[in-house]
Chains A and B, each alone.
Chain A
Amino acid sequence: MKILLARLALLALVLAAWELMPRHEIVNPLLLPPLSDVLAMLGELLQRPQVHLAIGVTAAEVAVAFLIAVPLGAALGVLIAENEYLGEVFKPVLFYVFSIPKSIFLPMFILVFGITFAQKVAYAAFTTTFVVMLSASAAVESVKQDYLLVARSYGATRMQILLRVYVPSMMPLLLEALRISMIFNFTAVMIAEMYASRAGIGHLIAGWGENFQMRQLFAGIIVLATVAILFNETVRYFEARCSTWRT
């Protein structure tokens, strides 16, 4: 309870500082407009059809990239974890590629796909697949051999071992993987939109930034932050529910 109060106090302090410091010109209001101005602009922006369209485009890019990357990454991750030969061959390469900042490949995606919806999706899915793959293979390897032995000794079929042992055993790590890969996925879509695009929230934010429209810029940041935090916390809620069986 005390912790909660302290957290709320911290939030209130930050918001108050955001409001008061630009108002009294302790910080330059041209760079950081007061919170109330930003919120007023946010209300106004959310009325504009142009903004609705941008949110729709970004949401579609994020969703499609995620729907491609998660099953693909999970399948590849399970494959390299389960197949010893493939694991030995591919894992070092994957770790090397994983360490490279993916944004340096962005020009390649533009050359191949043009500045399009497909380019954003392909780039984000490419980035996210690596995260999902490595997390999924770690999740498979986290399953204790004893759990499998117990199931086998009681005559479990392969399907029963998969559904009744692997899946619940991996669940905490899988949820974590889902959460972290969404952070990467969202970031990738934003980078792609801000780098070169004709639509999407990232496109608008980049434009506002270039034109020194700080109230619009911060309003855009609030929208994105809210969406990202909501997704993250939803998954974290389920994660906490199965935290006691983490090994």
Chain B
Amino acid sequence: MLNDTFDKITWLLLAVVIAALAALLAMNHGAGDGKAAGLGKAVEREMAYRARIELIGKLYGPVEELRKAGKNQEALLKLDELIRKYPGEAHGHILQGEILREMGALDEAVASFEAGVKLNGDYVDAKSPLSRRGTIQGLVDEGLKSVGGRAAANPGNRSLAASLRRVNYLKSRLAGGCE
């Protein structure tokens, strides 16, 4: 096998090539590859987030237009269709909560915000373009005063206690509590 010089040179060259290949593979498998994958995931997340915002604008645009025109009930009917079509999308619940609050249905508004925030925490995140922290804070303040007052005056009332639990849930999410 290693009888003559030619064999020795051939085996040596082969060993050099194998070593070089192994070194190349090791380098590509290192930190550089992780960065690329990490970057890919971040880009994917960003793209998905932007796509969601774009989709929300498109889907709920007609609802927002109805609200601007003061047609809250028509907006609710439209939202009903959208919530059934996209049950996992939180935005419909948030919009519905805003409308119900404007229409004087505080308990139902709280329930709707709770459903929305449970589906997506972006709405309590101050940095999110979808953030509704201010609105939710206002709702919590009003809820604690109104629902809290009624619940305190009627300690055995289970419906008021359940409503107050929902207000407190929103309060905890604003304080940074997790689902």
Decide if A and B are genuine partners.
no
A residues in contact (CB < 8 Å) with B: none
